[in-house]
Each structure stands twice: as C-alpha cells, then as structure tokens.
A and B are shown apart, each in its own frame.
Chain A
C-alpha cells in the first residue's frame, strides 16, 4: 500500500511498472502455469529492490521465470525448483525465509511474544479480578448518608 515515501524518493531503482510476465513465457498447461506463478511470487529478483521475479521486468527476472518453468516442465516438485534457484543465487532470493537455523528466531518471535504477552495479560487480569472479589460493606457514615438520600 503505501508506496509511501515513494513520493519522497525513488531516486534510485526506477521501479518501472511495465510488464513482468510476458505472454510468450506462459506455459500452455494452466495447472503448471499456476504453480510457476506461485513459485515466482516467492522468489526475489536478485538485482531489484524488493520485487518478486513475478513483478519485476529486469532481464534476470525473466531468465529466472524461464528457469522456473523449465524445471517445472522437467518434472521437478515446487521444493526442488526453489532449491535449484537457491543453490545458484543464495537464500537472498527467498522471500519466505526457511524456518531453520537462526531464522527460527524470526518465525518463533511472533508466537513466542504472543504467548509471553498472553501469560502476562492473564496474570494481570487475574490480579485485577481477585482484587475485585471482596465487596466492601458501606461504612456507618455511608449507611447514614444513604438512608438520608432514600428518604428524600
């Protein structure tokens, strides 16, 4: 959404909004093509600034899109295609970091903080609730004042 500071900048990296996938690249089998599209949305264009090869119109992205389709036609599974590209360009091209090694921190940070926060919130609420339990009786003064008010 906010391609927001675009406004302010984009001095570098002209994100040229021309075409990404060209008509000639599309596979004849719609099922295979859908797989190719899904894979290429998860692969980052190595020379652009944060576009997937599906969106990018850099020549290398076109090459990568063709490689992905070649591997699919050769009968690779999605994981094999991705491994093939990663083995050549490194994990930099993966938009979806594999949950292994240090990346576990990334993947577990959200659930971990949610659990800790949830526990903290639970304890806090329980304390507020326990404090709520004893209903304080009115003092003698308050009783008198209440009777007075009720009489009016």
Chain B
C-alpha cells in the first residue's frame, strides 16, 4: 500500500513539475502576476510529493519488502540498518530518486528564499528548475522505475555490494548529489537571466550563494569518496582518475571557476556573458557525469548496470538542456554589456586567469576522459587514458593556480601594480622557497614533487594569512587584531578556503612523494621493520560478523619498544554476494598514518602483509574540509542575508 502511494506520488510529482515548468514561464512572458504566483506552490508541492515517494521507498528498504525488485536486488534482512537505508541510493533507480528529491528541494528553496528576487526572474528560475524536474522524473518513470513489483517475492534479498556497506560511502552520494544538483540552480538562474535579457550585480549576488552551496557539498562529497577509497580499497590510493571520479571533478572545477567569476559580476559588473556560460557548462558537466556513470559508454570500475535505452534518454536530456541553453546564450550574450573597466594588472585580470586555468583544467580532464571513446569512434584505436596522462596534463594547472592565488587574492580591483602588490607577500615567498630548498636538500634522490608541494603549500597558506592581515588596515598591532574579529565573514571565508586549498595541494604532493610501502610474508608471532616502527603480527583468528565472515589479524606497532598502536586489519567474506573485501587497519596520526593490510595465507604458513606509512594523509581530507568550511563562512556573510535590493534603497536615503 505504502509502495503504491509512493509510486503514485511520483507520477503526481511529474504532473506538478509540468505545471511548474509551463505556467510561471507563460505568466512571466505575459507579465501576469497570478500565473507567475503558481511557481511557488508548485515547487513546494513537487518537493513534498517527491519526498513522500522517497520516504515510501525508504520504508520498503527498512522493512525489507521483497515484493519490490529493487529491494530484492540491493538488500538483505541481515544487513545492518544504516546500510538498509543507504541501500535506497546504492543503486541506479534509487539514486535517481534521490537526485530528483534534491532537485525538487532546490526548487522549493528558490521559492522559500527567493523573496527578494524580481517576480519575473523568480518565476522563470522556478520554471526552468521545474523543466529539469520534468526531464528527470520522466526518465525515472519511463526507464528506471524504482517501484516495480515482483509477482512472487523471494524469501530474502541479494544484499548490497559489500564495498558499499560502509559509513563513508553511506553519506558520500547524498553530498555529491547535493553538489551536482545544486549546480542546477546556477543553470536555472543563467537561463532565466538570458530569457529576461538582464544580468547585473544583483544577479551575481543571487546566484553566488547557490553556487557556493553546491560547491561546498561537492567538495565534501568528493573528499568523502576519496577518503573511502583510501581506507577501503586497501592500497592507500586516494584518487584514481577513473571516469566516474572525473565526472565529479569536472563540475567541481567549473563550480570553483563560477564562484570566482560571479564575484566579478557582483562587484564590478564585468565578465557577465562568461559567467552565464560557466553556469550553463557547470551543470552541463553534471549531466555529462550522469551520462558517463549511467550509460556504460565509458568503462569504469563503477558504472551501473548498463542499459542503452537509459543512455539515449540521458543523452536527449543533455542535448535538450545544453542545446537549448547554448542557443539562447548565442542569441542573448551580445546584449550583456560589461560595465566595469579594469587594467591589465588588477583583481579582475587575476580572476580571469583563475577562470582560464580552472576551466582549461576541466577541459583537460574532460578530453582525457572521453578520448578512449573518440579514438575508437574516429580512429579505430582501442586505447586507455589513465593516471600518468592526467598527472602530466593536469598538474601544471594546479601548480599554476597555486602560484598565482596569493598574488591575485591581494590585488586591488580595477588597477594594481604587480611589484607593489607582491611586496607584502615577500616573506611568504622567501619562506616557501627556503623550506622547499631545505626539503629538497634533505631528501636525496627522490622526486621534486615533495619539495614543490611544501613550497606551494607554505606559499598559499601564508599568502592567505597575509591577505587576511592586510585587510585589517594600518596602525598598532592591537588595533589590527581587534579589527580582525570584525572583518566580514566573506573575508574569513575567502582566506580559509584558500588556506584549505594550500593544505590540500601540499598533502597530495606529500602522499605521492613520501609514501613508504612494504610487502612481505609474515609468520604469526614474527616482527618486521616499517620505517622507524616495528610491526608484530601477534595473532590471526576467524571472526563472525553480522553478514560476513572475517579473518582478523592483531598487529602491534612499536617504536623503540614503546607501544604505538594495536591494529586489527581484516579480510572479510560476504557469503550472499560471494565477495571478499579488505578492511585495512589504520592508525591515524597528525603527521602520518600507519596503514596495515592482511592478505592471503601462504602455502608455507604465514600471511601476506602489506604495510604503508602514509605521510600527511589526514591533511588531505582536512584541507578539503577547511576549503568547504571557508565556503560555509562565506555563505553566512551578512550581505547574503540582507536583501540585495535593500542596501540600494537605504543608500538612496539622504545622509542627514
């Protein structure tokens, strides 16, 4: 009954979305307030209906309703409750429902928080958002319906893929989707502004918080996925340049570019057409990512069950939305005249450079991802593009961004001087160089990656600190410290996010350059050295988990005889899916992780053991979280809470 209710709610949501798409758009065209007013209730009702549908599916998973095909394929009665719930989005159909839910949520948010938008713009934004909802709800109902029933329900389900039964991965997709789908708001604003034919500073201010929110979620989602890959896959890697990873990374890069160019629109009324184009492309890459993951055109370790029909449907969605938006852009972009003027050396130019590097970097990732497909189509060559290509082709952009970041961040608007602008940064530059050189001298015969990472990290983090300090103006130190606390949240957000980026860059370089690896056969009771540590394989025993069997080793890590940690790496076997997984045991430390993996028993006794020292691993996820927190600080800035139009009204009042 509840399942039918959910199914029905989904169909109803599609109908409401059609209304939401058509009526306000027509109303905005006719300047009819009554028709435009349909937008708000429609967006909210659509959200409530999709939420009800999602709740019904969750209920089916929680109660293990095996009359649903989806539950049979992805759940099991013995599975822990957390994974019964996360199993809802651990498959194609359910994840699509989550996608539609978040889409509707953003539409409803536009209705709730859009009070200060001009009525026609608001109606159009919600209508465009509704049209995306129509596309995805139709896609779901016609090709991927999660509510299909079985005539004869089996006694138990087939369980969720064991790799997915993990807390890190339970929350990874919702965050990622909040990011992907959040970019639909930037898209809706861009298309609405194109229809409206007007892009001004206020538009920049409205679109920025949505982009910022999407970017924050995307950052956290990607970091969660990376962290999961690090501890779960058992070789300590954190990024594999897999097509599906790239699919999330490209929108992230473009969202980061969009965040920065929207500042130029907001503060200086320049780069309007470019910002609109970025907003369209950022969401476009979200759709391309969906296509890559769900069509099976590009082989990836984690593509869904492939279905050409679905691929064609997504390609149609992609074609309609990108084709439509870009055509509109071609007609209207010329009319968006830039107002602000600026010199070659200025904050504006620095942000243009930032945008250039970020978007070309996204393009490089894109061409690397689809090149195997293009090469096969046009040149009849079956080839692969992987980590070495991306490392070589992408890294220069990351380095370039880190190098210009502190300089650009402190550059004045309109017109600056390169030499004068860099003067406050000289200490950061000197320290970065000398520490980098010191590290280079200390580590003989290794790659330059480590020292470069150290230098870039110091440069960016210290540069951010100097940026913040310079915002406090001049005068005695005590006064400046007092002013520090009163700086706008946006300033704090900016330097926090930049510092987080510096930390992340450093951590990536450190982990790639200084990792220690050891592979050997260890007898029970024997010890072996690992860097400065001594590791003992104390015992190995069989353990029964809730829905798995485990071979659990107890390993003791000592340093100079003193106990550092007792770790229990496991090798699990999930009988329902007949699949082994490796549970690495990690001693998380501030400067290093000790990462132990137990492998197969050997013929001559003993076990294969892999051990790693991962330097600065926590700094990587920490850096991402700091970046996201910086975005959050910026989002709470007062100017987004005060109505954009309000400041103009107060400014018009005479000063007396």
Contact = CB atoms under 8 A, between A and B. Distances in A.
A125 B233 CA distance: 47
A17 B383 contact: no
A44 B348 CA distance: 44
Contact of B599 (A4, A19, A90, A91): A19
B301 A50 contact: yes
A87 interface: no
Contacts of B222: 1-2, 4
Nearest to A116: B360
Contact of B383 (A9, A52, A92, A132): A92
Interface in A1-33: 1-24, 26
A118 interface: yes
A96 B388 CA distance: 5
Contacts of A124: 352
B385 A95 contact: yes
B163 A95 contact: no
Given A41-B387, A95-B389, A8 B352 contact: no
Contact of B580 (A9, A16, A96): A16
Nearest to A15: B301
Contacts of B393: 107, 110
A4 B379 contact: no
Contacts of B243: 50
B472 interface: no
A85 B86 CA distance: 42
A6 B299 CA distance: 13
A19 B235 CA distance: 8
A128 interface: yes
Interface residues of A, number: 61
Contacts of A3: 225, 228-229, 233, 240, 242, 244-245, 301-302
B343 A18 contact: no
A2 B222 CA distance: 5
A106 B303 contact: no
Contacts of B519: 21-23, 26
Contacts of B389: 95-97, 106
Given A118-B356, A132-B343, A5 B304 contact: yes
Contacts of B235: 17, 20, 55
Interface in B574-608: 579-582, 597, 599-600, 602, 608
A4 B175 CA distance: 11
A124 B67 CA distance: 61
B226 interface: yes
Contact of B608 (A4, A8, A22, A132): A22
A1 B300 contact: no
Interface stretch (B145-153, B361-369, B419-427, B529-537): B361-369
Interface string A96-128: 110001110011011001100110010011101
Contacts of A41: 387-388
A75 interface: no
A15 B382 contact: no
Given A9-B303, A19-B610, A109-B364, A50 B386 contact: yes
A117 B356 contact: yes
A128 B270 contact: yes
Interface in A114-152: 114, 117-118, 121, 124-126, 128-129, 131-132
Contacts of A126: 344
A73 B519 CA distance: 20
B305 to A, nearest CB: 5
Given A8-B304, A9-B92, A17-B582, A2 B363 contact: no
Given A106-B385, A129-B341, A97 B371 contact: yes
A132 B414 CA distance: 9
A94 interface: yes
A78 interface: no
Contacts of B520: 23, 26
B206 interface: no
B237 interface: yes
B381 A91 contact: yes
Interface string B210-235: 00000000000111011011001111
Contacts of A95: 384-389
Nearest to A124: B352
Interface string B334-361: 0000101111100011001100110110
B352 A113 contact: no
A50 B299 contact: yes
B76 interface: no
B138 interface: no
A102 B300 contact: no
B225 A2 contact: yes
A142 B575 CA distance: 83
B367 A6 contact: no
B91 interface: yes
Interface in A25-57: 26, 41-42, 44, 48-52, 55
Nearest to B271: A124
B234 A18 contact: yes
A81 interface: no
A4 B248 contact: yes
Given A44-B386, A129-B343, A2 B172 contact: yes
Given A10-B164, A17-B163, A129 B383 contact: no
A106 to B, nearest CB: 5
Contacts of A20: 235
B599 A129 contact: no
Contact of A109 (B249, B356, B367): B367
Contacts of A121: 352-353, 356
Q: Which of A5, A41, A52, A121 has its CB near the most chain B CB atoms (within 10 A)?
A: A5
B182 to A, nearest CB: 15
A7 B90 contact: yes
Contact of A103 (B239, B340, B375): B375
Contacts of B360: 110, 113-114, 117
Contact of B348 (A2, A5, A113, A128): A128
A5 B386 CA distance: 18
Contacts of B342: 125, 128-129, 132
Given A10-B302, A102-B381, 17 more contacts: A3-B240, A4-B222, A4-B245, A6-B301, A13-B301, A17-B582, A21-B519, A50-B242, A90-B382, A91-B381, A96-B389, A107-B393, A110-B367, A114-B356, A126-B344, A128-B338, A128-B342
9 contacts: A1-B222, A1-B225, A1-B248, A6-B164, A11-B304, A52-B387, A91-B381, A113-B360, A125-B352
Interface of A: 1-24, 26, 41-42, 44, 48-52, 55, 90-97, 101-103, 106-107, 109-110, 113-114, 117-118, 121, 124-126, 128-129, 131-132
In order of increasing CB-CB distance, the 9 nearest A-B pairs are A1-B226, A95-B386, A2-B225, A132-B341, A96-B388, A6-B302, A9-B304, A110-B364, A17-B234
